[in-house]
Amino acid sequence: MSGKSDIVKGRIKEAAGALTGNDKLREAGKSDQAVGKAKQVVEKVANNVKKTVDEIAKKVSK
């Protein structure tokens, strides 16, 4: 699952927990959102590393 979908899933869980008074569900939603945000950060870093490696490879191959 992507980071964005984890965040959405977490928001839904958190809202459902708030509406029903279920603290465990609300906390699970917050946890899912945190996981989603962490995944987005990792994806961004991985993309930046890949971009940098590709740029270096182009310079070296010239």
Distances (CA, A) of 52 to 6, 10, 38, 46, 57: 28, 33, 21, 10, 9
Q: How far apart are CA 35 and CA 12, in angstroms?
A: 14
Here the contacts of 7-16 (C-beta below 8 Å, separation 24 or greater) are 7/32, 7/33, 7/36, 7/37, 7/40, 8/36, 9/36, 10/34, 10/35, 10/36
The per-residue pLDDT for range 26-46, each reduced to its tens digit, is: 999 999 999 999 999 999 999
pLDDT band per the 50, 70, 90 thresholds, residue 62: confident
Q: What is the pLDDT of residue 1?
A: 73
Percent of the chain at pLDDT exceeding 90:
92
What's the mean pLDDT in 37-62?
94
